[in-house]
Amino acid sequence: MERTNEPVRILCVDDERNVLRALERIFLDDDYEIVTAASGQEGLDILEETGPFQVIISDYRMPVMNGVEFLKAVYDRWPETVRIVLSGYADAGAIVAAINEGHIYKFIPKPWNDEELRVTIQNCLERYFLLQRNRELLSELETANHALEEKVLQRTEQLELRNRVLEFSQGILGTLPVGVVGIDDAGMIALCNTKGMSILGGICKTILGGDVKHNCSSEFSALVSRIREEKKLDTTIQLNDKSWRVMGSLVTINDCEAAVAVFLEV
């Protein structure tokens, strides 16, 4: 049976002392801590004082508090404990009540077979530690999901902030009285403000997304090539029958060497 180093504790509850001794003898060769109680109330007191047990074996017919009442109280406070009822009475109603009210894992008739009882306890412990591991995994998953949600939220907030900054920057860029054009390292026009659109309108078939070499005039293509070669440029050119002062620069943006040109009408 695969389990943690958690010690195995089994609580046996029966008002007959000889039954409790018999249960203790069954598990002499097992590495279990066997604790006994002579009544349901005593069993609850032990649970309260010494903590939970993995397995509880309780007689059904006991004075004051019967086995079902006892195990129902156990379930209400220590639901993870695996609960077993022993009974010398073939009472179908009692079996149903034990299963429904006490959430019983197994109902074992008296007299029992020692080896079968030992196997049943082993199965109970496997069930207990399997459910415990499942709870741990669910808790780890919940923690991981929470951390992921936090990261997603942070990333979303960052993206929203970047989008607001980008919209703000584009708004300012669009109102500038100079033309601003950006060409990526593949030769595509990736940025162009409103003034730039009016300048390139007569010399480029396609502006945003257009390839400079195939969609624009040879003069503009040569200008972009000069910016890439010289990295810094300040010159005057003729475009659309107008003279323009062009200040060009080669800048690195997201590992991309972009050529940026600023046009001022002379």
pLDDT (tens digit per residue) in 38-63: 999 999 999 999 988 999 999 988 88
- How far apart are the C-alpha atoms of 71 and 61, rounded to whole Å? 12
- How far apart are the C-alpha atoms of 236 and 243, rounded to whole Å? 7
pLDDT (tens digit per residue) in 2-25: 455 778 999 999 999 999 999 999
In terms of Cα–Cα distance, which of 114, 4, 130, 136 is closest to 57?
A: 114
Query: What number is the average pLDDT over the span 162-169?
Result: 71
Residue spans of beta strands (DSSP E) within the chain: 8-13, 32-37, 55-59, 82-87, 106-109, 179-183, 189-192, 232-239, 242-253, 256-265
Listed ranges 26-40, 94-108, 251-265; the one with the highest mean pLDDT? 26-40
Per-domain residue ranges for the chain? 8-136, 176-265
Q: Is the pTM of this model over 0.85?
A: no
How many other CB atoms are there within 10 angstroms of residue 241's CB atom?
A: 6
In terms of Cα–Cα distance, which of 34, 77, 41, 38 is closest to 55?
A: 34
For residue 169, give the DSSP letter: H
Class of domain 8-136: alpha beta
Query: What number is the average pLDDT over the span 60-83?
Result: 90
Query: Sign of dihedral through CA atoms 13, 17, 19, 23?
Result: positive
Under a CB-based contact definition with an 8 Å cutoff, are residues 158 and 226 in contact? no
User: What Cα–Cα distance (Å) separates residue 217 from each residue in 143, 189, 240?
Assistant: 59, 13, 11
247 pLDDT band, cuts 50/70/90, is very high
pLDDT (tens digit per residue) in 176-194: 889 999 999 889 998 899 8
1 pLDDT band, cuts 50/70/90, is very low
Q: Does domain 176-265 have CATH number 3.30.450.20?
A: yes
Reply yes or no on whether the pLDDT at 90 is more than 60. Answer: no
- How far apart are the C-alpha atoms of 156 and 173, rounded to whole Å? 25
How many other CB atoms are there within 10 angstroms of residue 121's CB atom?
A: 23
